[in-house]
Structure formats: C-alpha cells, structure tokens
Chain A
C-alpha cells in the first residue's frame, strides 16, 4: 500500500526494513510522544507520499546538549527520525556539508519548503553589540533567526537557552543573550525549556505538526501543556516522603541515603513545570536530577534556572493539601513557642479557680450555714 520513499535509506537494499517495520517506527514514535494511535498510520502515509516535514535546525549560544539528548532516543531513534519521518535539511552538527555548501543548503531548504518547514532553534541569541557575539557564515544570529523564522510553518525553541536565554543570559549576561520568543516578538514560538530539553517533548511537538499540521496547546510561556502542564512535585516519586515530612537534611545523611524528599536541599520541584518525573532522560530509568539524588534546579523555569541559588528552597506552601484540612505537614517544623498572652490567661484561669474555690469553701463554713438557717 505504501511506497517507502526515503532518502539514503532504501528498504529494498536495507535488510529487513519494510513497511511493517516502518509502521512500527511510526507507532512507536506516536506512542512515545503521546499522540493518538491513528497518528501512526497518518504519519506513515505522509512520509510515504514524500510529504515529509522539513526541519531546519539552528545553533547559537549553547552546548549542543539538546541535540545530544535527541541522539539518545530509541523510539524512534535519530536515524529513523531524520531518515524516515522527517527531512532534516539543515543541522550544523549532524550534516556532512561545511562552509559555503552548508550555507547553500540552508538557503535551498528555506526556498524549497517556504511556509511549511519547522524551524528549530537551539541556543540563546546575543543582541548586544549588534549581535556580534555569535556569527555563522558572516551573519549574526539575530539575522539568521529572523530570516529563517520569517517563512517557517512552525517555530520551536528547544532548551532553556533558546526558550529564555538560559546560561548565556545568566547575570551579568555580557552578550545580551535572549531567548527566541524575545527576539521573535509577536510570533508563536513553541518553547521546550530544559537543560537539556527532553527529546520526547520535541518529537511530540514536531510529529504532531508534521502529521496534523497543528501545534499542541501551549501555556502563556509557549510551553506545550502536555509536557509542562504540571509541576515536577505533583508526579515526583519522592512525593510520599514530602507528604510525610521526611526530608534529607544534607547530602549524604541518613535521609538522603534513604531516598527522602530533597526539598530542603533546594529542590525546585514544587515550582517547576516539567514532565521529568514521568519521562526520564536518555531512556534510563531514574536518569534525572531527583532520580540520582540531586534536587531539581528548575531548568524549565525562567525565574529559577540560573537565577535562583542552586540550594535555596522555593515556596511550597501553596501546594494543595492531599485530603482536607490538617493533613499537610509543616515543611519547617516549628519547635513550639510560648505566648505571653496565653501564659497570662492560663495563670488567670488557674488563679481564678483556686481563689474561687477557696472563697466558696469559706462561705460554706458551718457559721455560714447557721446564718442561712
């Protein structure tokens, strides 16, 4: 039914990669990123009809960690992704071309799929000194991003740097680094913050756009709600310890070894919107900060990442109690105090009882009784 049209990946010569395997890849991809089952078939159909979405991936001020984490995916793996599901037309790290050839590829790609391609931006964009801090092929990052985004179908900022500046924008921010949404003010930019961003959040967004031509529901910071709708704390595997008031007090102490809640060590989980607690990194169970015993540092939150001190605590008091009043344990237990008003009142009550009792007993003396009689 389908013609498998792939570039450099011929099912006829590539042993045991037929339609069935391809559908499997599509199903895996759809399932892994939470798309409906029907998306797999649609995805396969689109890919086989040659209408694979074009991807243009730009790198600016970053560490390539987001690309690295994408390389670690297995369902679909990056090979299947860029060879079967999408057409990765430009990616400085993964492409073979260099120099003028690379520049020509970018221009060709833009011209070829104008208005349809997905522009993925990785890294912050420097704006000080006319953007002179980051140049590719003689052009500044600001120019490149403006030109590429202008005719893109969808714009995705991957990683904290592209989303809001990240490390390059940390104080004192010498290069005036900004995130893509700030540079591309007025355009819809899907932000996928994270340091690195979870590659499945990118796949989910990109494959949904590729398959259905739509973008997922976004929050006010441009983050897809399917991945950033809840805070880490809500789905944290250590949440029970938090609710029971069991905290690691310092690294390596008994509580830390027992896997207690890391809140007091500075965990930003209660204020950080991300799905790390559900979708661990590089497909290794437990491979995420809290999973390996370090507090969440809030990499998806502009207000926290690279701004709030690593081990300072966030406010968790707003966190709704689990079941009704009185069940929410204090985070910092008060050791108890003595109110002067209460001591006075207690003294008054005891004194009044003693005095009242004595006076009453005096009144009820035998003499008093005689008087009554």
Chain B
C-alpha cells in the first residue's frame, strides 16, 4: 500500500475553539461535582420510571454508534479488503477509542453505585446471569474499549520509539508485540462491536408494553447494528473533512465520496427494514395516528430518506460540503432513532415523565468537549492523520 504515512499535525494547542471547549469542560465538571457530592437526584432528572436518561441514550448509545467508525472502517479495510480506505483507519480508530471512552465515562456518572463497576469484569463470582443482554453490553463494551486502545496504540508507540525517554523502552518492547498480535486484536475489534451494538437494540425486546409499537420489533438488534455501521462511516466522514479543514490537510474527497455510496446503501437498508417490518406486522396505521409519536416517527423516516438521497447524489462528486451534510443527516437519523427507542418512544406508564436536567445536558456537553480536546491534542502530537504536516499549523 503506497499511502502517505500518518504524521503528527503539530501546531499550537490553545486556539479560541479550544477555549470554548475548556468552558464546556468547566461547566460539565461543575454539574458532575454536584452529581458525585449530592447524588443522582440532585443533578439529573432521572427517576424510577426512566432510570436511563441522556447519559445512557445519548452518551453511550448514540456515542458508541458514532464511535463505530473504527469497527466500520476495519470491516471495510481488513474484512472486505478495500485497501484504498487504509488512511482512514487510524483517525477512525482514534475517534472510536475516544467515543467509547466517553461512553464509559458517562456510565460512571450514570450508575448509582459507580464504585462497584470494576466488579463487573474483575469480580466474577460464578453467579453471572449469562442470559442478560445488559451483562453482555457491559462486558463487551469494556473489552472493546480496551481493544480499541490496543488497536490505536501503534500510533503512540511509533512516536515514543523515536523519542529518547522512559517511554522509549516500552515502545521498543511493545510495538513488535502489538504488531504481531494485530490480526487477533483486529478480529476482536470487529466481533465485539457487532455483538454489543446489536444487543443495545435487544435490550428493548423485553419492553413489549413499554416501547411504542412503531419502534418495538424483533428486528431491533438488526436495526441497531445496521444503523451503527452507517453512523460510524458518517462520523469518519465528518471527522476527516473537519480535520482536513482545520489542520489544512489534503481533503480525502474521492475516498470519502466512495464511502457515500456505502452509507446511502446502509441507510436505505435500514429504512427499508424498518418500513417493511411495520407494514408486514400491520402497524402502519399507527404512523397516521396524528399524535406525537407518529410525528417523531415521520421525522425519523424523513431524516433517513433525506440522508440516503443526499449521499446517493453526492456519490462520485468532489463536493465535500454535500458529503458533510449527508453524513450529518445519517448521524441525525441514527441518533434520533436511538434516542427514540431509549427515551421518546419509551413509556413506563404510571405517569412517569423524563426530560434531561440542565446538569445532565452540561455533563453530556462536557464529555463531548473533553473528547474533542483529547482528539485535537492527540492528532497534533501523534501520527494519526495521513499527509504532510501543514506549515501554518491549522485553525482548530
């Protein structure tokens, strides 16, 4: 493969944009402090009817779907052997590692007894409920987050290997090991997300009476899996275009516009599966019920249809803007679908209501801000993005 080698971007860290991120980090930290000192009730609007709020629905469920870029690109490059997408692997893996780490952080905020979390992987007592979907998600997400950091570790090790210092020895020792183990790690990196991304949908199979009939279907796992792959590619596209702009790197438009076709196809499959399922199971009438749920349903369908259409037409063109809009639409459609299943279309009955509190929103924004700051830091310091370093340093 004769691609330009990934190189660090370099440049100064504290830009105005970075300052805005720091502000969000401070606000999120303030809200998070309330949560940890005063408890969940003080900081969040979660209740017994909605024990999962946006920290789960957005940070974990949408966040890890957007973090499926690593999975989706690895699938393309290593499983389907499309080598031309290879330059996308590292940025995608980094985005995924950060996305999953952000999701895991959100779980620490969300779980009441967070100090017991370590017991899930490390204190096996012979009494695990192996038929539990949530256990599978917990173990799988934890394992995959670790796998992602191993997958991206060569980027750090390569850098450390060149610098004299205490890390140099580690890098010299670890890099060959990681490279040797890479096929196995990669296999895990494809199997694990396929497992838990579908299980995120399976979790709601049991909520027959609580989840609205337009959303509840035996196809929930399939829909979650298909949408996560599309959202993963979309995240890669957005991240590539923004990085290219911000760090003044060559735009990988041709490669990305090839992804557009794949995304359009995946979105069409998702939409088709969703609509055919509803029609065949005789639930289409609910979509014309003129109520809130029907409105949200059509918004979802419209977003997905627009996304598929936009991406299909931008396929083969060099219009990065159109590509970006299509990717945003895919992310919005998939994100809305997930939030709907977890919150909007979910009604536990008995008059329970939920809308995220200010604290929850601030923590969510704070986590995203930290994730972005870490991304900026890493691409400036470590070889993630392909191409020559820009002389001016970039804008981000």
CB distance from B347 to the nearest CB of A (A): 11
CA distance A363 to B321 in the complex (A): 7
CA distance A342 to B356 in the complex (A): 7
Q: Are A336 and B358 in contact (CB under 8 A)?
A: no
Report B336-370 residues with CB < 8 Å from chain A CB. Answer: 350-358, 360-362, 365
- A341: chain B residues at CB < 8 Å are 358
Q: Are A326 and B113 in contact (CB under 8 A)?
A: yes
Residue of B nearest to A358 (CB): B325
B162 located at the interface, meaning its Cβ lies under 8 Å from any Cβ of chain A in the complex = no
Q: Are B350 and A335 in contact (CB under 8 A)?
A: yes
Q: Are A342 and B45 in contact (CB under 8 A)?
A: yes
- A330: chain B residues at CB < 8 Å are 41, 48
A334 located at the interface, meaning its Cβ lies under 8 Å from any Cβ of chain B in the complex = yes
CA distance A364 to B355 in the complex (A): 35
CB distance from A123 to the nearest CB of B (A): 47
Since A335-B47, A336-B47 are in contact, a sample of 20 more A-B pairs with Cβ atoms closer than 8 Å, ordered by chain A residue number, is: A245-B48, A326-B113, A327-B112, A333-B48, A335-B352, A336-B352, A337-B353, A339-B357, A342-B45, A342-B355, A342-B360, A342-B361, A346-B356, A358-B325, A360-B242, A361-B328, A363-B321, A364-B245, A366-B318, A369-B251
Q: Are A333 and B319 in contact (CB under 8 A)?
A: no
Q: Are B113 and A345 in contact (CB under 8 A)?
A: no
Q: Are B358 and A364 in contact (CB under 8 A)?
A: no
B235 located at the interface, meaning its Cβ lies under 8 Å from any Cβ of chain A in the complex = no
Most B CB within 10 A of own CB, among A245, A335, A338, A339: A335
Q: Are B353 and A336 in contact (CB under 8 A)?
A: yes
- A320: chain B residues at CB < 8 Å are none
A324 located at the interface, meaning its Cβ lies under 8 Å from any Cβ of chain B in the complex = yes
B85 located at the interface, meaning its Cβ lies under 8 Å from any Cβ of chain A in the complex = no
Q: Known interface pairs A333-B48, A337-B353. Does A361 touch B358 (Cβ–Cβ under 8 Å)?
A: no
- A366: chain B residues at CB < 8 Å are 318-321
Q: Are B320 and A369 in contact (CB under 8 A)?
A: yes
CB distance from A221 to the nearest CB of B (A): 34
Residue of A nearest to B321 (CB): A365
Residue of B nearest to A329 (CB): B48
Q: Are A364 and B356 in contact (CB under 8 A)?
A: no
- A361: chain B residues at CB < 8 Å are 321-322, 324-325, 328
Residue of B nearest to A325 (CB): B39
Residue of A nearest to B365 (CB): A349
B52 located at the interface, meaning its Cβ lies under 8 Å from any Cβ of chain A in the complex = no
CA distance A69 to B136 in the complex (A): 59
Number of interchain pairs (Cβ within 8 Å): 91
CB distance from B41 to the nearest CB of A (A): 7
Question: Across chains A and B, which 10 residue pairs bring their CB atoms closest together, nearest first?
Answer: A365-B321, A336-B353, A361-B324, A326-B112, A338-B355, A361-B321, A361-B325, A336-B47, A357-B328, A364-B321
A368 located at the interface, meaning its Cβ lies under 8 Å from any Cβ of chain B in the complex = yes
CB distance from A215 to the nearest CB of B (A): 43
CA distance A101 to B269 in the complex (A): 105
CA distance A345 to B363 in the complex (A): 12
CA distance A121 to B40 in the complex (A): 52
CA distance A366 to B257 in the complex (A): 13
Contact partner, B324, options A324, A335, A337, A357, Cβ 8 Å = A357
Residue of B nearest to A357 (CB): B328
Most B CB within 10 A of own CB, among A324, A341, A342: A342
A362 located at the interface, meaning its Cβ lies under 8 Å from any Cβ of chain B in the complex = yes
Contact partner, A342, options B242, B324, B353, B357, Cβ 8 Å = B357
CB distance from B351 to the nearest CB of A (A): 5
Q: Are A364 and B320 in contact (CB under 8 A)?
A: yes
Q: Are B39 and A336 in contact (CB under 8 A)?
A: no
- B358: chain A residues at CB < 8 Å are 339, 341-342, 345
Contact partner, A336, options B113, B318, B325, B354, Cβ 8 Å = B354
Q: Are B324 and A336 in contact (CB under 8 A)?
A: no
Residue of A nearest to B359 (CB): A342
A343 located at the interface, meaning its Cβ lies under 8 Å from any Cβ of chain B in the complex = yes
CA distance A326 to B356 in the complex (A): 18
CA distance A339 to B39 in the complex (A): 19
Residues 225-247 of B, flagged 1 when their CB comes within 8 A of A and 0 if not, give: 00000000000000001100100
CA distance A334 to B45 in the complex (A): 10
B49 located at the interface, meaning its Cβ lies under 8 Å from any Cβ of chain A in the complex = yes
CB distance from B31 to the nearest CB of A (A): 11
- A349: chain B residues at CB < 8 Å are 361, 365
CA distance A336 to B46 in the complex (A): 7
CA distance A368 to B253 in the complex (A): 14
Q: Are A335 and B49 in contact (CB under 8 A)?
A: yes
- A245: chain B residues at CB < 8 Å are 48
- B355: chain A residues at CB < 8 Å are 336-339, 342-343, 346
Residue of A nearest to B350 (CB): A335
Residues 221-249 of A, flagged 1 when their CB comes within 8 A of B and 0 if not, give: 00000000000000000000000010000
Q: Known interface pairs A361-B328, A365-B321. Does A335 touch B353 (Cβ–Cβ under 8 Å)?
A: yes
